[in-house]
Structure 1
Amino acid sequence: MVLNLNTHELLNTNLEKGIVLIDWTRKFGGETHCGCIGEDLAKCICWNMPTKERNETQLVKLLQYYHYQLLKRLQSFGADADFQKEITLDRVTDAFEHYIPLAALTFLLFLPEDLNDANSAVLEKAHQLLEEAETAIGNF
């Protein structure tokens, strides 16, 4: 992965301003990839929603919405009905939970080399994600 050297600066600035933008249509760098929806969901949700705001009810609603939109999109592309039935909300939720540790570790790549240059909001986010990753790993 090529890391844009200004990425941490953008992240720091936006966290300070309280700006959060989720673009469900693009992956980092504008590139699409064949991969696991759980990885993308974990990164998107964990990186952009504070842990305390991501309570059980909000997370369930968000995953339900994503699941609905995914099935709607698959249907519009003419995906096989049996294939669509295999993509249950439980599978989406399990995939999300499975990739929380990876999302936490990947977030660390965006920290500046010298942690003294990171603002407190970014460091707090990293700390929260690492705690979440530890909990998730303990649940396996």
Structure 2
Amino acid sequence: MTTAVALRERVEAVLLPLLGTYTLPSGDTVPAIWMGDPPEGTTAEGLECLISPNPRRDAVEAFAYLGGPIAYPVRLVNNAAEADALDIAVNELAQHFWPFWDDPVLLEATADVPEQTTLSLLYDPTQFSPEETP
């Protein structure tokens, strides 16, 4: 299993009670969490979590150890405009992924775009016990 898939499964397990739903173009409904962008024509209800499939890495000095931890950018979207939904989701993630690589940044809602929070989750499988790692 790749680190990206393991991270996605872990985030889904943490946020599942809070996540909204996607309705896919096929009509199927799934939890509103996706690596990258969901398929075109997908609609989201409630809290949505988008995880970048491309991790960020620290700059490495010459001859340094190259196996360091990586971080995945995450965007939480409050499609239902529920009060405190983003704060609750960030606090849940903090219980499992602290410290964050980047602090959460709130993007206020506009007429066209719902309220969002961006952050990066540090994921190093060695920091979890075998029972915790998906």
Q: TM-score range by the shorter chain?
A: 0.3 to 0.5
> What's the TM-score, normalizing by structure 1?
0.31
Q: Which has the higher strand share?
A: 2
What is the TM-score with the length of structure 2 in the denominator? 0.33
